[in-house]
Amino acid sequence: MIVLKGAEVSARLKEDVQELLGRFPVGSRVPVAAIVRVGERPDDVSYERNVIKRIAAFGMEARVYVFPADIPAAEFVREFQTINEDKEIDGILLFRPLPAHMDGRLFERLIRPEKDLDGISPVNAAKVFAGEADGFAPCTAEAVIEVLKAYELPIEGKRAVIVGRSMVVGRPLAMLLLRENATVTVCHTKTRDLGKICREAEILVAAAGRAGMLTKDETAEGAVVIDVGINVDQNGKLCGDMVWDGLETAAAAATPVPGGVGAVTTAVLAKHLAQAAWRSRQTMDASEQEA
């Protein structure tokens, strides 16, 4: 069984980003991302550190904006809009969920689609579902596609089964796989005969957010298994939605947890930042020529 390591995929994405940055005019400022966090959730703080390191490693800049968890909603809207309209900010990552006293859907509508690095805007969601290439998909969903392509694992014509229907992974990933001409089935925790459906998959994506939900018994011989789950087991260790033990007897390839899709997600975020900055500069150049 081939172990699909995220580090190798991230290295390939870094090369792509640096190639794009090399096309910027000499003397251009580096792309800048705004990381917006409300509160001190440990998982947010940990992910924030990873994002900052990744963006810096790719040759770009991250600016962190942290607000107290009890900031009044109206005040946070004002602060967010200031960041949103800042012309020096090329992309925005807003940590969610927001505190209970805030309407998260409001910020999905407020964020400028061209700066929306993690694909939370309804505009970007619509573009992804319409198959338009200029919409930013959620980074984790896109990371799955990047893993498959980096390892040259065929997608076209393959039967893909996704276990999970969230707007963060399952649904947008289904659209991205369809764009690559896979035949896609989306399942969830209420799906009947889940095991039978999974055993029909040539590409099996575990993205339900339940530790150990799937095993080798739900895996077809020779299948490619992509485990998106990030969970903590009873021993406090990170684990995925797939039980790894015995998987090598069934799957042809699989992503580990940790070290698989999660490691690619921040690289996709950095790629989105470079793309957002490039598109912004192209738009500015076009406007100046028209003027």
Q: What is the CATH number of the domain that holds 225?
A: 3.40.50.720
Q: What is the pLDDT of residue 72?
A: 98
Cβ contacts of 110 within 8 Å, gap of 6 or more: 77, 80, 81, 84
89 and 158 both lie in a single domain? no
The 10s digit of each residue's pLDDT in 137-166 is 999 999 999 999 999 999 999 999 999 999
How far apart CA 215 and CA 16 sit, in angstroms, is 35
Q: What is the pLDDT of residue 271?
A: 98
Q: How many domains does the chain have?
A: 2
In a domain, 66, yes or no: yes
How far apart CA 178 and CA 166 sit, in angstroms, is 17
Cβ contacts of 182 within 8 Å, gap of 6 or more: 155, 156, 157, 158, 159, 160, 203
In a domain, 78, yes or no: yes
In a domain, 144, yes or no: yes
251 and 145 both lie in a single domain? yes
Does residue 1 contact residue 255 with C-beta atoms inside 8 Å?
no
Going by pLDDT thresholds of 50, 70 and 90, the confidence category of residue 234 is: confident
Distance between terminal CA atoms of the chain?
58
82 and 179 both lie in a single domain? no
146 and 258 both lie in a single domain? yes
What value does the mean pLDDT of the chain take?
A: 95
57 and 98 both lie in a single domain? yes
In a domain, 277, yes or no: no
99 and 156 both lie in a single domain? no
In a domain, 286, yes or no: no
Going by pLDDT thresholds of 50, 70 and 90, the confidence category of residue 284 is: low
Q: What is the pLDDT of residue 288?
A: 52
Q: What is the CATH number of the domain that holds 46?
A: 3.40.50.10860
63 and 102 both lie in a single domain? yes
Q: Hey, which bits of 154-280 come out as E strands?
A: 159-163, 183-187, 203-206, 224-227, 231-232, 238-239, 253-254
Domain holding 92, by residue range, is: 28-112
Q: Between these two residues, 27 and 206, which has the higher pLDDT value?
A: 206
In a domain, 119, yes or no: no
100 and 161 both lie in a single domain? no
Comparing C-alpha atoms, which of 51, 110, 63 is closest to residue 90? 63
85 and 178 both lie in a single domain? no
Element (H, E) at 38: strand 32-38
User: Which whole number is the average pLDDT over 71-81?
Assistant: 98
In a domain, 175, yes or no: yes
53 and 100 both lie in a single domain? yes
In a domain, 282, yes or no: no
Q: Which two tokens stand for residue 55?
A: 């963006």
257 and 145 both lie in a single domain? yes
How far apart CA 148 and CA 265 sit, in angstroms, is 13
Reply yes or no on whether the pLDDT at 290 is more than 60: no
The 10s digit of each residue's pLDDT in 111-137 is 999 999 999 999 999 999 999 989 999
154 and 244 both lie in a single domain? yes
